[in-house]
């Protein structure tokens, strides 16, 4: 093992007292009692250096893989106020007389190792911090991750940009879209992050982002969830102990958007996750609808997917979603195959619909089907009875057959009824130009021209039918001459 500066993990020549890379004294010595002593080797593979982050649930170190020389990041399970260690001893110690603290640490260590499992499930997503492995030693647990060069979004906005150079609305929207795109892929694995905040979004030197710290994450419907309530970013359902879903992460993204625009974390009213409006002078009317849909207290009114919110933001700045350049060729090939299958399916369905519609139209034209409004202004299909002549013709219908004097009207079949009422029939009014013959004529009858406005029903209907009045030009009948004896 060579000589390393424990502050930056650069290998230095023997005897150097100040690191030429970071100007830190060699050897670096930690003064925090929570830290693992610099120079500790884990699993004969990872050399631990300076602590670069401390939180309520753990400590993060810069380290190096002695087998490959690669700089890595190591997270240690270390509950603040629940455990301690001797300055020269890397083992985490727990109070022997505090059973509650020991049980709490044991439970959290199990959750900590589950974070490693979830990160491994997400290792093919480039915008999620990469996890190499998990190790249990020193009476605690460690997660070995890739080392990221850059800064988190909180430091970028507060320190690098500051009040004099705040992010523009478009910049804020683009950052938010990037976060949502990563979150959409995470959600497809049925994993909730549950701790989306500016300090858990890492901005690399090339401007891309990485989602980090899945310590609070859980599988959807994965059982009881312990709340990691970060003020300003935790959704109401987490604060109230209600059911969480993808919409919970989206609430936190809405709060991050607020931070990017205003430069301060959003304040929650009444301690139940309802965000206060931006301070005076910070108005963004074009984002009002999107912001309140993302952070609505009622989860049913909130965005239900990260993609849905990202699409609205893209539409706002006039951008279209582009295919991710980070997907592998194999993944793109699968997507193309799926797209082709989907296209074939759509074409097949459309063809089937067209054939069915053509059949219905032809059938309707044959049987007299029509579409009419009912009394409720709803359009319904009405099937009229099949007739032997055209109904409501625009020109008179002329019969070429020689009828007998008795005129038989076409039979109309009325809609079926469960009861047979006594028919009520109105006798048609007939206007004639000659006396009506009472005897059966034997002479040839002149073919009448009949103009009908509606068919005359003489057959007994199965329901009450009122026969419309018919004005006819009755045939002129010449009575037979009286023979002379």
CB contact at 8 A, 235 and 273: yes
Q: What is the largest CA-CA distance in the chain?
A: 164
Does the pLDDT at position 426 exceed 60? Answer: no
Dihedral, 116, 117, 123, 126 alpha carbons, nearest 10: -60
In angstroms, the CA 108 to CA 105 distance is: 5
What pLDDT is stored for residue 207 in this prediction? 92
Whether residue 195 lies in the annotated active site: yes
Angle, CA 209 vertex, CA 204 and CA 215 arms, to 5°: 105
DSSP code for 78: -
pTM of this prediction?
0.63
What does the pLDDT look like over 147-166, one tens digit per residue? 999 999 999 999 888 877 88
The listed CATH number (1.10.510.10, 1.10.3720.10, 1.10.10.10, 2.40.10.120) that belongs to domain 150-317: 1.10.510.10
**Residue % of the chain over a pLDDT of 90:** 39
Residue spans of the domains in the chain: they are 19-146, 150-317
CB contact at 8 A, 93 and 112: no
CATH code of the domain made up of 19-146: 3.30.200.20
What pLDDT is stored for residue 146 in this prediction? 96
The residue-averaged pLDDT of 345-359 equals 67
| Residue whose pair of structure tokens reads 């959600």 in the numeric block | 187
- Which residue, 87, 82, 33, is CA-closest to 57? 82
Helix (H, G, I), strand (E, B) or coil at 200: helix
Kindly give, in sequence order, each residue whose CB lies less than 8 Å from that of residue 128, ignoring residues fewer than 6 positions away: 119, 122, 182, 186, 210, 211, 214
Does the pLDDT at position 432 exceed 80? Answer: no
Does the pLDDT at position 61 exceed 80? Answer: yes
CB contact at 8 A, 139 and 93: yes
In angstroms, the CA 117 to CA 106 distance is: 17
- Which residue, 78, 97, 100, is CA-closest to 33? 78
- Which residue, 124, 255, 267, 253, is CA-closest to 192? 253
Catalytic residue among 195, 213, 312, 417: 195
For residue 135, the cross-strand partners are 142
Q: 188 or 242, which is more confident?
A: 188
What does the pLDDT look like over 15-51, one tens digit per residue? 899 999 999 999 898 889 899 999 999 999 999 999 9
What pLDDT is stored for residue 396 in this prediction? 44
CB contact at 8 A, 128 and 186: yes
Q: Tell me the backbone φ, ψ of residue 296, rounded to 5 degrees.
A: -65, 140
């Amino acid at each position: 093992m060579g000589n390393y500066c424990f502050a930056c993990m650069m290998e230095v020549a023997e005897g150097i007292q100040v690191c030429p890379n970071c100007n830190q004294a060699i050897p670096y010595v930690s003064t925090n009692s929570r830290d693992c002593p610099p120079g500790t080797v884990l699993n004969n593979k990872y050399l631990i250096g300076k602590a670069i982050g401390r939180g309520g649930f753990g400590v993060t170190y810069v380290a190096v893989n002695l087998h490959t020389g690669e700089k890595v990041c190591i997270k240690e399970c270390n509950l603040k106020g629940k455990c301690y260690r001797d300055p020269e001893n890397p083992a985490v110690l727990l109070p022997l007389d505090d059973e509650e603290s020991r049980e709490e640490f044991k439970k959290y260590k199990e959750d900590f190792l589950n974070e490693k499992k979830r990160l491994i499930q997400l290792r093919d997503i480039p915008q999620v911090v990469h996890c190499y492995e998990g190790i249990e030693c020193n009476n605690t647990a460690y997660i070995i991750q890739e080392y990221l060069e850059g800064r988190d979004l909180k430091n970028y906005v507060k320190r690098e940009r500051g009040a004099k150079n705040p992010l523009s609305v478009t910049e804020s929207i683009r950052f938010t879209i990037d976060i949502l795109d990563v979150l959409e892929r995470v959600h497809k694995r049925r994993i909730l992050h549950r701790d989306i905040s500016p300090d858990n979004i890492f901005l690399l030197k090339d401007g891309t982002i990485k989602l980090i710290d899945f310590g609070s994450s859980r599988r959807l419907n994965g059982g009881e969830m312990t709340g990691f309530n970060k003020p300003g970013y935790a959704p109401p359902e987490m604060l109230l102990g209600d059911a969480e879903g993808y919409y919970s992460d989206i609430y936190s993204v809405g709060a991050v958007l607020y931070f990017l625009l205003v430069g301060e974390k959003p304040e929650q009213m009444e301690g139940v996750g309802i965000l206060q409006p931006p301070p005076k002078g910070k108005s963004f009317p074009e984002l009002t609808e999107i912001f309140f849909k993302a952070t609505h207290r009622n989860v049913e009114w909130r965005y239900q997917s990260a993609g849905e919110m990202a699409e609205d933001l893209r539409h706002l700045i006039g951008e279209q979603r582009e295919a991710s350049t980070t997907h592998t060729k194999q993944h793109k090939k699968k997507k193309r195959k799926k797209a082709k299958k989907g296209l074939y399916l759509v074409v097949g369905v459309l063809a089937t619909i067209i054939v069915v519609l053509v059949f219905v139209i032809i059938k309707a034209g044959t049987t007299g089907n029509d579409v009419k409004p009912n009394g409720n202004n709803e359009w319904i299909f009405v099937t009229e009875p099949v007739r032997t002549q055209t109904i409501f013709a625009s020109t008179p219908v002329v019969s070429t057959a020689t009828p007998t004097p008795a005129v038989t009207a076409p039979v109309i079949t009325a809609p079926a009824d469960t009861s047979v009422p006594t028919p009520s029939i109105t006798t048609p009014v007939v206007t004639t130009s000659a006396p009506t013959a009472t005897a059966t004529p034997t002479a040839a009858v002149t073919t009448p021209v009949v103009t009908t406005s509606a068919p005359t029903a003489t057959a007994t209907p199965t329901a009450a039918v009122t026969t419309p009045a018919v004005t006819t030009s009755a045939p002129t009948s010449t009575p037979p001459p009286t023979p002379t004896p």
